[in-house]
Structure formats: C-alpha cells, structure tokens
Structure 1
C-alpha cells in the first residue's frame, strides 16, 4: 500500500529552516490549532502542518510505515527541521519524527509538546463521539443508537486493541453514514471526501498506539494548559517524569494555542 502524506504551509519564509506542526484538525473540532499559534509566533522559519494519509484503521500497515510517509516530503524539500511541535496525540508522532529526523539530518530538532497524551481506547471513544455533533443535522435517532451501541459494546470486549476498536467504529460508521448521506442527498464526491476525512482521523488516533513516545518525551519541553483531564495534568499525581521541561499556563486546553503568552514562550523556545 502506498501512503501519501502532504504538508501544508502555515507560514512561508526564505529561511532554510522548517518547523513542523503535528495535529489533526480536518474534522472541524472546537479546539484551536496550530494555525492560530503560528500566526502569533515571531520566528523566521517556514512552518508546515501535516496532512496524514487517508487510510482506514485495520488496513494492515503499522505506525512505522505510517510515519515514514511523512518524512519523504521533508527530505525532498532540502530544508533542515529546526523544531517539531505536537498537540495532544500529535505529540506521539512528533517524538517519532524527531528520532527519524535526527538520523536524517545529523542533529535532533527541538521537540515542543502541547498537552501531550498517548492514544487510548478512551481517547478514541471520546473523539469519535464528537462525530455526532459534526453530523447532527443528518444523523437520526436510529443512526446515533447504532453508533453508540458499537462504541459502548466494543469498548467492553476483553483484550480489544485501539486499532481493533477503531476498525469496528469505522465499519459501523460506513454503514450508518451511507444511509445518512443518501437521505441527505449528498453527491458521491462529497461523501467520499467525508469518508477520507474520518478514516484519516481514526488512523491518526490508531497508529499512535504502535509507537512508544516516552523516551523521546524525556527530551521535550511541554506546554501545559490548566485542564486537569488533559496532557501532563492527568499524570500529575503519578510522580513520573515525562518531559525535560514544563511550562504551565492558565489557559484551557481548547484555547491554549490562541494565547499570546504561549506564543511568546514558544518563540523563545525556538530561539534557543
């Protein structure tokens, strides 16, 4: 299977340096993303944002192959990556990218993480639940009930993996979504775009479970929000050392990347 990953430009520069941003925003979520942060960062570099391949969970690839497709466009650019930034589950991939780029360019980029979290069954459950809000105008009660049943039932299956869980969710969503899209009169091209978006989103959550970010995170700087259920705040009582340095802010998780104070702090990190 050929995986194609593209990077979109958030900010262009004549500088030879690249700063990579890892997050998934195509589902129209409420949380702010890297476009908001990068607009306020005063650092001369080109900023790229990943657009991961549209593959479905359970298609037979692994996390290593998934991330490998991200590196090819970077190699072709001929630029040196100065830093990699990851938000939430994107922090898992950011750590993997730093390791691969260290081998490629001979030195490791800076690693900056925003409320870093490993993926989990609960994370997939929560994020997939947002689909109901996004598609509330076309899903009926039967659709929602069928999706909820799969979400709740499969979550209780002993030994189920993140990938197995996501694959079941995607299969059910294809069935339910097909009915809903037909009722709404969506044309096939638009429907296919929707499938690609949601398959890419579930894959992004899924293949992070194939990677071990913990060693890489020990070299990172983390930017933490005030939300107790997000990022390092969930691990606060474990006593575990997760990152090399942590900067804590009063902003909530959903607006962390809109903060001028956070942007100034990140600018200083990039200048080091």
Structure 2
C-alpha cells in the first residue's frame, strides 16, 4: 500500500510534504485545495485495521521510510496533522543535516476535548442513519464519557465503543451492506487512533520556529489559547479572516504560504 500520494501535477524536482487525515466527504478543505506552486505529496493512512495499536513513532517511521527520493522543500501540517509534521521535520533535519521549514495550518495537539468534539461531529452528521432517538442516546453517552475523561487513550477507546455499537445497530436496521458498515466504523476507529498518536508528540518543542496560518474560528488551532500561551508556541503566526473549514482553500492563505516557501528557499 502507498504511504504517500501526489496531489495534482508533478513535473519532478523538489517536493513539499503534507500531513492530514483526508477522508472522503469531509466538509473541510484539504491540501489538494491549497495551490502553492510546488508539487505536494500527502500522507496516506494505513489500511483500515492495520493502525490498531499504532503510536506516534509507528506513523512517522512508516512515512519517513517511504519519502520519495527527492529534495524536501518543506513540511505542511493541518489540524492534528501538525503534530506529525513537527516530528517529520525533526527527523528529516537530522537525516539531511539542514533545517526543513515547517508550515502549520490551525495546528492542534489533540486532547480528550478534541476527541469529544470529533465524536459529536460524526454522530450528528450520521443522524439520518442513526435516527433521532439513537443519536440523542449516543450524544448523552458521549457526554458521560467526557465528564469522566481520564486521558486521551481511554477517552478515545470509549467513544469508539459507543459509536461503533450504535452505528452497527442502525446500519443493520437500515439494511445496509456489511461492507459499508465495516468501512464506516473502521474509518472512525482509524481516525481516533490517528488523534491518539498525534497527542503523543511534544508539540511545544516540535513547533518552535514554525510558520502558523490561523483561521478565525474561535475553537480551532491556536485560537482557544490565551495570548501568552499562543506567543510561546510561535512568533511566526499569520491570521486570516476565514473559517477553519475554508483555511486550505482560501487564495490569501495559498499566496502567503507560497511566499514563505519562496523566502525559505532563497534563505537556504
């Protein structure tokens, strides 16, 4: 299975790497929407089920071992992918002996609250399948998990149990094929494992010196942080008046990211 995929035209030469959990049908823009004038290669998630038990190093080691044999101009990270991007930059810099620019878009280090937010989002998005009663019950169960949250690993596992149980029952009642059910529950389980592994990164150390591109959504990226904590993470933040979901498709963001890439290339 591939671990990297090329996004858009690729004439060869230096590349930019991007880390994201790009799932079909998600409302947020992806790196395929970000036109930076460089060939971009994006991470590919392990086959569903193969990620069981994965930690931060398992993802990073797998991606690092299969990076195309071409110069890497920069590494990009979106949301929780920023945690992995920081690790990739550290390892690449050690390998090549030169710094690799790091560009982060609404970077987040996942917490139990992140798990809860994503759980609510997926449950509510599937209300048409789950039905009103089962959706309300799943939301209430999630609220109880969050009230008793004891670490991201345990919280994520609890959300997986609740969601997969509710989703399987609803899909069986709706007469949906087993293949669809397995893909639906497997994708959610995979995403929770991705978030759990991302939380293991030392983001304070790995994001030092990174360029941060922030949306205007109050709950996304660095926006929930107080000014002091925000300043401690980066002194290279660019803020844009766009929603989190549109950050990677905004022309102003693409132009600013391209400018950074050009500047970094010239400086090296």
So what's the TM-score if we normalise by structure 2?
A: 0.89
Question: Residues 2-46 of structure 1: CA distance to partner in whole angstroms, max 9, x if unpaired?
Answer: xx6622221232332121111223163322221111xx32x2x32
Question: Deviation of residue 181 (structure 1)?
Answer: 1.5
Question: Residues 108-141 of structure 1: CA distance to partner in whole angstroms, max 9, x if unpaired?
Answer: 3210011112111111101111112332221023
Partner in structure 2 of residue 29 of structure 1: 26
Q: How does 1:189-208 map to 2 (within 5 A)?
A: 189-208=179-198
Residues in 1 aligned to 2:140 and 2:234: alpha-carbon distance in whole angstroms = 38
Residues in 1 aligned to 2:243 and 2:192: alpha-carbon distance in whole angstroms = 24
Q: Cα 1:211–1:54, aligned 2, differ >3 Å: closer, same or farther?
A: farther
Unmatched 5+ stretches in structure 1:
none
Question: Deviation of residue 234 (structure 1)?
Answer: 1.9
Partner in structure 2 of residue 233 of structure 1: 223
1:85 counterpart SS class = strand
Partner in structure 2 of residue 71 of structure 1: 64
- Contact 1:101-1:109 within 8 A present in 2 as well: yes
Residues in 2 aligned to 1:151 and 1:108: alpha-carbon distance in whole angstroms = 42
Partner in structure 1 of residue 204 of structure 2: 214
Question: Deviation of residue 95 (structure 1)?
Answer: 0.4
Q: Cα 1:57–1:232, aligned 2, differ >3 Å: closer, same or farther?
A: farther
Question: Deviation of residue 72 (structure 1)?
Answer: 2.1
Larger mean CA deviation between 250-259 and 111-120 belongs to 250-259
Question: Deviation of residue 57 (structure 1)?
Answer: 11
- Higher relative contact order (CA closer than 8 Å, sequence separation 6+): 1
Residues in 1 aligned to 2:2 and 2:190: alpha-carbon distance in whole angstroms = 11
Q: Cα 1:67–1:271, aligned 2, differ >3 Å: closer, same or farther?
A: same
| Equivalent residue pairs, number | 262
The question of 1:177 aligning with 2:170 is answered no
Residues in 2 aligned to 1:58 and 1:84: alpha-carbon distance in whole angstroms = 23
Please report the RMSD computed on the Cα atoms of aligned residues, expressed in angstroms: 2.2
Q: Cα 1:56–1:189, aligned 2, differ >3 Å: closer, same or farther?
A: closer
Unmatched 5+ stretches in structure 2:
264-268
Residues in 1 aligned to 2:2 and 2:137: alpha-carbon distance in whole angstroms = 32
